[in-house]
Amino acid sequence: MADIKAADVMKLRKSSGAGMMDCKKALIEAEGDFDKAVDVLRKRGQKMAAKRADRESSEGAAISVVNADKTAGVSIVLGCETDFVGKNEDFVALAKELAAHALNFSTKEEFLASDFGGVSVAEKLVEQTGVVGEKLEINDFARVEAPYVGSYIHVGNKIASLVGLSQAIEGADALSRDVAMQVASMGATTLSYKDFDPAYVAAETEARIAAIEKDNIELGRLGKTLKNVPQFISKSQLTDEVMAKAEEAAKAELTAEGKPEKIWDRILPGKMERFVSDNTTLDQEQCLLDQNFIKDEKKTVAEYVAASNVEVVAFSRVTLG
C-alpha cells in the first residue's frame, strides 16, 4: 500500500474540490499517483452523472460578472438539485469562477467546450457532480456588450441581470445597477413595445380580453366590481386614429357630465393618460422601458434613464428554475 501524504491529499482536494476522505481514497486506489487519482475522481463523477442524468437541476446560483472595462458582461446559472447545495460556499465560489471564465466567450457552447484547469467546462461539471453528489449543469448563459455594462445579483443568487447603456456617463454604475435591479425584479422580456411582433400582440389581446370577460362573469355573479375590459394592450396599437377617437370619447363624456368646455384642458390630459395606462398592460408587464420604475413609480424606466441623457441599449436576465 502506497504511503499517502497529507500534502498530496490537500493538493488533490484543492484541485478537485472533493472532500478529504474522497481524495485520500482516490489516492489509495491510484497507489499514490496524483494524476491517476484525479482520473479516479473524474470517473466517479461520470458514473454519478450517468445515474443522475434524469434529475432536475432547478436549484443553484445565478451569477453576473462584468469585465474591468465595463464593456461586456456575462450571466450564468449553475444548476444543482437542492437548495442546500446551491447555498454552499464552495458551490457559489465555483459558480463565480465559472462566470468569470465565461466572460471570454460569446456563446454557451463555446464556454462549455473551453479549457478550465486542464479539462473542458463540461467535463468539470461532470467531475463536480461526483464531488457534490448532485447533477450540475449550466442552465442559462447570457452575454451583453455595450459602451457601459452594469449588473445586479438578487439576494440569495436566485436572479442575475445585466444592463447595457449607450455611453459611460458619470453615475453610470448606480444608474445601470438601478435598471438591472428593475430587470431582476419585474422580469421584462423585451426592451420596448416597438420590438413586439404585431401577430403576437393581436393574439395576446384576444386572449387577455377573453380572460377578463370570463372573470367578469364570476365577479358579476358574486355582485363584485367588474374588471375593466381594455380595447388594446400595447402602445403599438395606439395609432393616431385610435388616440383621436379616444379624445373624442373623453370630450363626449365631459359634455355628458356637464363640465364647462373652458376647464377641459385641465381634465383631458388625465383622462388620456388613464386611457393609455388602461390599454398598455402588455407593455407595462414585458417592456423594460415602459414599466413603472420601482424606485419612483411616477416615472417610467425610460423617463428615469432619459434624465441622465443616456439610453438602455440591451439587457438580460437569468434565473433559477
DSSP annotation string for 41-73: HHHHHHHHHHHTTTS---EEEEEEEE-TTSSEE
Coil, helix or strand for 6?
helix
Same domain, 175 and 202: no
Judged against a pLDDT cut of 70, whether residue 2 lies above it is answered with no
Residue 50 — very low, low, confident or very high, per pLDDT cuts 50/70/90? low
Average the pLDDT over 310-318 and give the result: 97
pLDDT of 241 strictly over 60: yes
Rounded CA gap, 252 and 149, in Å? 49
Q: If you average pLDDT over every residue of the chain, what do you get?
A: 91
Q: Would the pLDDT of 272 be above 60?
A: yes
1 within domain boundaries? no
Same domain, 155 and 246: no
176 and 100 co-located in one domain? yes
pLDDT at residue 209 is higher than 70: yes
The Cα–Cα gap between 2 and 208 comes to 71
More confident residue, 23 or 166: 166
| pLDDT level of residue 45 (50, 70, 90 thresholds) | low
Task: Report residue 22's pLDDT band, with 50, 70 and 90 as the boundaries.
Answer: confident
- Alpha-carbon distance values, 214 to 19, 24, 100, 201, 211 (Å): 57, 65, 49, 20, 5
Note the pLDDT of residue 220: 93
Segments forming the whole domain that contains residue 250: 194-297
187, 216, 243 - which closes a domain: 187
Same domain, 70 and 44: no
Residue 56, pLDDT > 90, answer no
CA end-to-end distance (rounded Å), the chain: 47
**Total domains present in the chain:** 3
pLDDT tens readout for residues 165-196: 999 999 999 999 999 999 999 999 999 999 99
Q: What CATH number did the domain enclosing 15 receive?
A: 1.10.8.10
pLDDT of residue 133 exceeding 90, the answer is no
219 burial level (CB within 10 Å; 0-12, 13-18, 19+)? middle
pLDDT at 303 over 90: yes
Whose cell is 447595457? That residue is 164
Model-wide pTM > 0.85:
no
| Least confidently predicted of 36-50, 179-193, 231-245, 301-315 | 36-50
Q: How far apart are CA 90 and CA 77, in angstroms?
A: 15
- Sheet with 137-145, edge to edge strand ranges: 59-66, 72-80, 137-145
User: How would you label 103-133 residue by residue, b for 16+ Cβ within 10 Å and e otherwise?
Assistant: eebeebeebbeeebeeeebbbbbbbbbbbbe
pLDDT at residue 46 in the model: 67
| Model pLDDT for residues 93-109, shown as the tens digit of each residue | 999 999 999 999 999 99
Report the alpha-carbon distance of residue 163 to residue 95 in Å, rounded: 20
From 172, 187, 202, the end of a domain falls on 187
> Same domain, yes or no, for 275 and 164?
no
> What pLDDT score was predicted for residue 10?
78
Going by pLDDT thresholds of 50, 70 and 90, the confidence category of residue 39 is confident
User: What is the average pLDDT across 10-39?
Assistant: 73
Question: Any residues with CB less than 8 A from the CB of 137 and at least 6 apart, and which?
Answer: 57, 78, 79, 125
CA distance 158 to 139: 13
Residues 79 and 182 in one domain: yes
Q: Is residue 66 part of a domain?
A: yes
- Average pLDDT in the 291-303 region? 94
- pLDDT, residue 120, reads 94
Contact 65, 100 (CB under 8 A): yes
